[in-house]
Amino acid sequence: MNIHLAIYDRKNAGIASAALHLKCDKVILLHRKEHDVEGIKSVLVNRGIKCTSQMVSFDPSQIRIILKHVLQDNKDHKILFNASSGYRMMVLVALEYFTSKNLQAFVVDKFTNQLHWLHPNEKLSQILQTKLKIHEYIKFTSSQVLNKGQIQQEPKQRRAVTNWLIENIENFGASLAAMNHIAMRADISLKYRLDKNYRRKPHLYDILNKFEDVGLLNIKNNIVYFKDEESRFYANGGWLENHVFSLLYDMQSENLAISDLAKGMEIVRAQGKVKNEIDVICMAHNRLHLIECKTRKFSKHADANTPGAAAIYRLDTLKETLGGNSGKAMLVSYQKLSRYTEQRAKDLGLFCCSHRQLKELKAHLADYINSTS
């Protein structure tokens, strides 16, 4: 048997990706008492790999005793140490033990998806070819997918509308903000009466007529009637989510790095107590990529309590809790972002694409997906 020994860390996907790439038969997980390893166990078992686990403490002498027993119990099999994750002291003790026995050890770089051999170090590094799915990666962080969301591309007519909105971005900012407000204020009856202020908005009726042409709404006697709740959501900024998703959908067929993609996926954390809906989410290079899409105007104030800052902090939290050590996040905004918001995003390692940059959004998404930062 080909066996991997690894130290569990819910923030790192290198255990599963390496086990699948190197076609191992079994994974032995060492973990602390407080760790929930059932998620990664289920992923490995569903992929045809056996998985056992054993609790350990921080005591180096106890770790060495456990390692001794593990090697004795598997003396007739090939056993390798995956040093990709775990508490540093535990990893160093295990690495020292394996190298002293002249056994193989390796590490998976969490940013580049590359496997490097630590012992023997003359073996060549290699890019992991395994492509994890979103629901598998989510399980590593003790979370689960509640609703898969949309996985099919939107109709061509709607794509034409979103492209038209992007092409006219310099002129449509105020009118799109009004469109958002109309859709947001439309009550359970899905209708909203336009007052004189709305009727004076330049280009607002152009947008309303365009949405009417593709069957999203009707306009009669200055009253906007949305076809259904999905149409109202689309007018309230959902169109930008669809635009981002459609571009990534095209990229997925062109770029083998994207292994999974969804829009509006609902994820439950903490045993169902905390639910998050992700605008757009994808797996690429075995890293989770989260994208938040906004069409509303953000305040220009340098204040941590503004909607722009709130969006940045939400993204940073999701990146950490769902994406682990290698997670990435991006804010896509139809409106301009303040310098404060852009700088805060940069400080937190988040990507941004806003306003006129959206005309080159596909290139920005490619940079985001392929970046190793």
* Of residues 261, 265, 258, 256, the one with CA closest to residue 245: 261
pLDDT for 20 equals: 96
pLDDT for 306 equals: 62
* Of residues 133, 149, 146, the one with CA closest to residue 269: 146
What is the per-residue pLDDT across 102-159, written as a single tens digit (0 to 9) for each?
Answer: 999 999 999 999 999 999 988 899 999 889 999 999 998 888 999 999 988 888 889 9
Gap between the Cα atoms of 90 and 59, Å rounded: 9
DSSP summary character for residue 166? H
pLDDT for 109 equals: 94
pLDDT for 301 equals: 58
Work out the number of other CB atoms within 10 angstroms of the CB of residue 30: 22
Q: What is the largest CA-CA distance in the chain?
A: 83
Give DSSP secondary structure letters for 8-51.
Answer: --TT--HHHHHHHHTT-SEEEEEE-TT---HHHHHHHHHTT-EE
* Residue ranges covered by each domain of the chain: 2-130, 172-233, 241-370
- Range 2-130: architecture per CATH: 3-Layer(aba) Sandwich (3.40)
Contacts with 88 (C-beta within 8 Å, 6 or more apart), sequence order? none
For residue 365, give both structure tokens.
């998404």
For residue 187, give both structure tokens.
């009550």
Which strands make up the sheet holding 217-220, listed edge to edge? 191-193, 223-226, 217-220
pLDDT for 331 equals: 96
Asked if the domains at 172-233 and 241-370 fall in one CATH topology, the answer is no
Give the three-class secondary structure for 194.
coil
Angle between helical axes of 239-254 and 156-167 (0-180°, round to 10): 110
Extract the residue ranges of the chain whose pLDDT is less than 50: none
Task: Output the CATH code of domain 241-370.
Answer: 3.40.1350.10
Count Cβ neighbours within 10 Å for each residue of 234-256 and write b for 16 or more, e otherwise.
bbbbbbbbbbbbbbbbebbeeee
* Of residues 105, 100, 96, 125, the one with CA closest to residue 113: 125
Residues paired with residue 118 on neighbouring β-strands, in sequence order? none
Work out the number of other CB atoms within 10 angstroms of the CB of residue 230: 11
What is the per-residue pLDDT across 279-310, written as a single tens digit (0 to 9) for each?
Answer: 999 999 999 999 999 987 766 655 555 667 78
pLDDT for 296 equals: 79
CATH superfamily to which 172-233 belongs: Hypothetical protein VC1899 (Restriction endonuclease-like) (1.10.10.680)
